[in-house]
């Protein structure tokens, strides 16, 4: 993997002075004139100055901004005026679209600055002409509704200029047909494709090359740094400024992409394509069904070496006598045979050559994984800078090779030509301590700062920890949470998020609440993660005004419900990572070999940052009021509990259910008074 060193130098940008920021953000400045509801906030102005200084001096900055600070404008104003060529990376595609469609145009218009902006997503977001045409011809559809979806996509391609599937609302983003009409790095024909001149992916990359500001997301950014496949690699050398919003997600995203994963699903997908292309272009070249079936059987047999549904094991936890290792050898052997057959037929069609290339790549990655588990000549132990582990799902098996730390890798990426690197989020520190985040990202000795939220948390919110709950590992813990939550949900008039740490808890909580609402005649609509897409559930929740929404990790962050629709956030447990996580276990072991405490220096800070995200769903506006109910008794009974709640917003605190219920009554009275006034 190469670092981004000593290539095209970033272009010069205008000189910056602190007084410029003061003028832009004050009550008579351009933002106040052009943006409805804008008013000066000291935290926002100070944050903008710090970011402008980092941009001017080509430095890194870790910038934590409490909810309501207005961090988006705080980085957009200096970025658009002094940032030069800017890459702006977000944690989610939703925020990516919001920045491109709403926030950047708003600031650009207010500042009257003529910067050009481009949106760049991963190739799976753009319709591929070649794969669309092939799917229309061979009709390999897996679901009945895909026929209608395919018709809509075919119409869409004739009218769209971007090819971005987000523009086609008639076809759900999760529809299986998208896999058939988009390309992957493995299935893209590149400049050999007959549709290359019309390719939406190439068009998006060309626009990004020419733009002053390019909006990407973290997955795209790190996929490119690792794989050089998204168009970001060509952008980085000329970038003056790189800004990561929702930067708390970076350690996990970077770990994903700086590691290697190979799955039996990829092998089975290749087999399906080999069969289709072999029969289409070289029917007489081999007994394709037989060639493919032996590889498919080997892939399925590898999965069946673990009889359980869900398994996560480090490779050194798998017994040497396990059937897993012979089954892995068998899959490699059968895959090599299939690649040999493809080799003999590759010249008959470009698509067969492509299958051969994919087969070689899969075989190499299987071999690399297998080789990595062998002791090195210098040591009889497994390599200590990487974690080899296996994850089994119901119908697939994944082999992972994960770096123990991304800090040295990411530090190397930042070497070379100086440029500004801004890392911002509402949750990067633990009680103003950035050590955990900085050490994860290799940002040692870089400046870090927190700007407090303008919200009056002491009056707007209450932290309630119920008494007499059992230990979180108790069999009936979720039922006890629901028993404690029901009186609070009634007092809040619905208007509740119940955030769970596991899908199992989501399902049990939904089952119980359905029963209780029916039994008690409570009129609260119940919305459960998985019953519809996240955006649809949130739209329904806001529209209902008295709903209860139950979700797991995907609802802990990036969710913004302002006003009366949300008044109670219940968190079932402190979000510690699962104890069976092999990467976590290896990282804790590595810290303890250095004489550090793995729990104190890794598990606890990670949990606090995650909990801060969940707690941040409650107060989203200066007029919001509500109760944060954390059910986990460890917040009170464990010595580390104090450190956790001290890292949360400074709500008033209680363990008395009656005081918590009275908070809702008082909020209701104040709301009525505000309405009369």
Q: Which two tokens stand for residue 125?
A: 């977001």
Neighbours of 237 (CB within 10 A): 17
Q: Please tell me the predicted confidence (pLDDT) of residue 136.
A: 86
Domains 18-122+205-257+406-451 and 457-676 are alike in CATH topology: yes
Rounded CA-CA distance 120/213 in Å is 10
Q: What separation in angstroms does the CA of 214 have from each of 90, 181, 199?
A: 11, 25, 19
Query: How would DSSP label each residue in 456-488?
Result: -HHHHEEEE--SS---TTSTTHHHHHHHHHHHH
β-strands 60-65, 311-314: how paired? Answer: unpaired
Mean pLDDT of all residues belonging to the chain: 88
CA pair distance 449, 434, nearest whole angstrom: 9
Residue 42 CB-half CA count within 13 A? 4
Tokens of 451: 């700007």
Residue 78 to residues 14, 19, 428, Cα–Cα distance (Å):
11, 12, 21
Q: What is the pLDDT of residue 530?
A: 86
| Residue 3 scores a pLDDT above 60 | no
Cα–Cα distance, 375 to 315 (Å, whole number): 12
Q: What is the pLDDT of residue 16?
A: 66
CATH class of 457-676: alpha beta
The string of DSSP codes covering 184-231 is -TTT--GGGSTTGGG-HHHHHHHHHHH-SEEEEEHHHHHHHHHHS-SS
List pLDDT tens digits, range 118-155. 999 888 899 999 989 888 887 667 677 888 889 899 99
Taking only the tens place, the pLDDT of each residue in 486-517 is 999 999 999 999 999 999 999 999 999 999 99
**What is the pTM (predicted TM-score) of this model?**
0.87
The dihedrals phi and psi of 138, each to the nearest 5 degrees, come to: -95, -15
pLDDT in tens, 312-342: 899 989 998 999 999 999 999 999 999 999 9
What are the beta bridge partners of residue 88?
215, 243
Ranking 161-170, 230-239, 277-286 by mean pLDDT, the lowest is 230-239
Provide DSSP, 104-140: HHHHHHHHT----EEE---GGGB--HHHHHHHHHH--
| DSSP SS3 for 438 | helix
* Domain definitions of the chain by residue range: 18-122+205-257+406-451, 123-197, 263-403, 457-676
Q: Hey, what CATH topology would domain 18-122+205-257+406-451 get?
A: Rossmann fold (3.40.50)
For residues 588 and 599, the answer to whether their CB atoms sit within 8 Å is yes
User: How many angstroms from the chain centroid is the CA of residue 170?
Assistant: 24
Among the listed residues 549, 544, 589, 578, the one whose alpha carbon sits nearest the alpha carbon of residue 563: 544
pLDDT digits (tens, 9 = 90+) for 427-468: 999 988 999 999 999 998 999 999 999 999 999 999 999 999
């Amino acid at each position: 993997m190469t670092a981004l060193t000593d290539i095209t130098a970033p272009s010069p940008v205008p000189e910056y002075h602190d007084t410029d920021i003061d003028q832009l953000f004050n009550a008579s400045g351009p933002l106040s004139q052009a943006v409805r509801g804008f008013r000066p906030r000291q935290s926002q102005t100070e944050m903008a100055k710090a970011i402008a200084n980092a941009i001017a001096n080509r430095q890194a900055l870790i910038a934590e901004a409490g909810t309501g600070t207005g961090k988006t404008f705080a980085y957009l104003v200096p970025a658009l005026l002094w940032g030069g060529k800017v890459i702006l990376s977000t944690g989610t595609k939703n925020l990516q679209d919001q920045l491109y469609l709403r926030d950047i145009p708003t600031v650009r218009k207010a500042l009257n600055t003529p910067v050009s902006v481009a949106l760049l997503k991963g190739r799976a977001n753009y319709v591929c002409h070649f794969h669309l045409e092939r799917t229309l011809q061979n009709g390999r559809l897996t679901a009945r509704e895909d026929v209608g979806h395919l018709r809509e996509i075919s119409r869409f391609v004739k009218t769209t200029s971007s090819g971005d599937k987000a523009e086609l609302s008639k076809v759900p983003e999760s529809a299986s047909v998208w896999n058939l009409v988009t390309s992957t790095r493995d299935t893209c024909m590149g400049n050999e494709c007959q549709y290359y001149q019309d390719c939406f992916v190439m068009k998006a990359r060309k626009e990004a090359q020419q733009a002053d500001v390019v909006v990407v997301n973290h997955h795209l950014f790190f996929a490119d740094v690792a794989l050089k496949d998204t168009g970001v690699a060509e952008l980085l050398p000329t970038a003056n400024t790189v800004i990561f919003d929702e930067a708390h997600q970076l350690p996990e995203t970077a770990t994903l992409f700086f590691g290697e994963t190979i799955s039996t699903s990829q092998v089975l997908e290749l087999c399906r394509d080999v069969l289709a292309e072999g029969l289409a272009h070289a029917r007489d070249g081999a007994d394709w069904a037989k060639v493919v079936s032996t590889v498919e059987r080997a892939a399925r047999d590898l999965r069946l070496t673990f009889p359980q549904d869900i398994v996560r094991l480090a490779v050194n936890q798998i017994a040497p006598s396990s059937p897993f290792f012979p089954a892995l050898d068998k899959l490699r052997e059968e895959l090599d045979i299939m690649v040999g057959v493809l080799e003999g037929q590759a010249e008959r069609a470009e698509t067969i050559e492509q299958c051969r290339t994919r087969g070689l790549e899969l075989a190499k990655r299987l071999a690399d994984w297998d080789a990595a588990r062998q002791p090195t000549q210098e040591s009889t132990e497994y390599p200590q800078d990487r974690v080899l582990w296996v994850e089994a799902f119901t119908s697939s098996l994944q082999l992972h090779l994960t770096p123990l730390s991304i800090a040295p890798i990411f530090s190397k990426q930042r070497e070379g030509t100086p440029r500004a690197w801004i890392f911002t989020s509402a949750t990067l520190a633990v009680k103003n301590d950035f050590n955990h985040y900085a050490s994860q990202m290799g940002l040692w000795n870089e400046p870090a700062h927190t700007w407090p939220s303008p919200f009056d948390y002491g009056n707007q919110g209450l932290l309630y920890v119920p008494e007499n709950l059992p230990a979180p590992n108790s069999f009936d813990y979720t039922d006890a949470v629901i028993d404690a939550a029901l009186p609070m949900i009634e007092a809040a008039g619905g208007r509740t998020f119940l955030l769970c740490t596991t899908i199992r808890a989501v399902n049990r909580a939904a089952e119980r609440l359905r029963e209780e609402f029916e039994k008690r005649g409570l009129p609260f609509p119940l919305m459960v993660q998985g019953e519809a897409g996240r955006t649809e559930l949130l739209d329904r929740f806001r529209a209902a005004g008295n709903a209860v929404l139950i979700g797991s990790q995907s609802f802990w962050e990036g969710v913004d419900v302002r006003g009366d629709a949300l008044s109670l956030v219940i968190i079932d447990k402190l979000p510690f990572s699962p104890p069976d996580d092999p990467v976590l276990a290896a990282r804790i072991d590595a810290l303890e070999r250095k004489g550090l405490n793995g729990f104190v220096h890794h598990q606890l800070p990670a949990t606090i940052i995650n909990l801060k995200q969940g707690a941040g769903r409650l107060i989203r506006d200066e007029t919001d009021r509500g109760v944060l109910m954390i059910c986990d008794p460890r917040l009170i009974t464990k010595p580390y509990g104090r450190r956790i709640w001290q890292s949360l917003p400074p709500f008033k605190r209680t363990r008395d259910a009656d005081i918590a219920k009275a908070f809702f009554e008082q909020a209701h009275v104040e709301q009525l008074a505000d309405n009369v006034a």
